[in-house]
Amino acid sequence: MTVGDLEALHAALVERLETDEAIRRAFAVHPRHHFVPDMIWPDALGLPLFRTSDPDRWACSVYGGDAVTTQANDGESGPRNEPSSSSSAPQVMADMIAAARIEEGMRVLEIGTGTGWNAAVLASLVGRKGAVTSVEVDPRVAAHARERLIATGVDVRTANGPPVGEVFDAIIATCAVTRVPDTWSAALVENGPLVLPWSPRPDVRSTPVVALTKRAGRLRGAFLREATFMRDRTQRVEHPPFPGLGRTPGPAGVVSVGSVEMIGAGNLPRLQLMMPGVRLGAGVRPFQGGHGRIVWMGDGEAWAYVWPDGSVTGEGERALGRESAEAHRLLADAGVDGMGAFTLEVAPERDAYRVACAALERWWDHPVGV
């Protein structure tokens, strides 16, 4: 794989981005392969991939359009390659940058430097009149990013935490949170945007991106898109056992929609927002002589599986299967098929964040005591 090949792959990646020309130009001057390290983790199991051992596969991973895991298990070993640092998917990056309304001359704070690629793109957008500060808590990750930024001539200030007493015109976080840190809001100017991945529980995979605006000390704004980001390391939790594991499922009724339809409609991230306190996801279980995709849910001792034929099994006082089917029906009847119909409000004096959907004329309070 020659330098020319890599440049061509980068040009093709930039051309595929669905974004405005200013953002596309900023991506164009910072090839991704200048920032992704030579060792990456392409699979959840197995050994890392080294650029020197298989340059073509490495290049395909870098320019395939997805996120690239650049560190696993916080740099240590483990039974699985749990991502702990990455280069975000380019389209997700572009969407977040656009939502943050980055312009020339702005002071921007990035939470989560990672490879440094996103910081480099931001630096091009703010230009010489602006400034980018990027925060990274992992010393090894930060050292690699600084080396890459210096080597490519990008002027970005790096730090291990938000600078105390400084304020910024925009903040972008590339790590997911459930409770938005007070320090982030304090570092943002009035009417400034804070774009971040958020989920109502710290133990779920779905972390949709939301674009908040600060007004009178509160943060409020619409969700942009579904995404899956790694957690802020201060908000990691142990994942509870799979709901119902080791327990005999009992019949819990039949609902009007099966698991395949729920999953196919892309509704699981929205159902997560509409069901406070519930841990929810998709899985595979034996079904009618084969295997079928199910929707699983858990809340304390209550749990449920929705099966492909609409049957529900589980136990507990909360009728999770019926609740999820009702939420799915509401979305279908209102024609809600995207994340943008939902908003998030963060009020510092409250221990619950409010998710609302105007199209459904409903709201849900999510406890965030982490």
How far CA 181 is from CA of 1, 162, 243, in Å, comes to 43, 11, 30
State the Cα–Cα distance between residues 306 and 325, nearest whole angstrom: 9
Q: Is 349 exposed, middle or buried (0-12, 13-18, 19+ CB in 10 A)?
A: exposed
Residue 121 phi, psi dihedral angles, 5° rounding: -65, -45
Q: Is 53 a catalytic residue?
A: no
State the Cα–Cα distance between residues 131 and 101, nearest whole angstrom: 15
Residue 173 phi, psi dihedral angles, 5° rounding: -110, 135
Amino acid making up residue 192: G
Q: What is the largest CA-CA distance in the chain?
A: 65
- Which of 86, 87, 88, 199 does the annotation list as catalytic? 88
Both tokens of residue 245? 């594991």
Both tokens of residue 163? 């600078």
Both tokens of residue 3? 């330098």
Total residue length of the chain = 370
Amino acid making up residue 77: S
Query: Active-site residues: which are they?
Result: 88
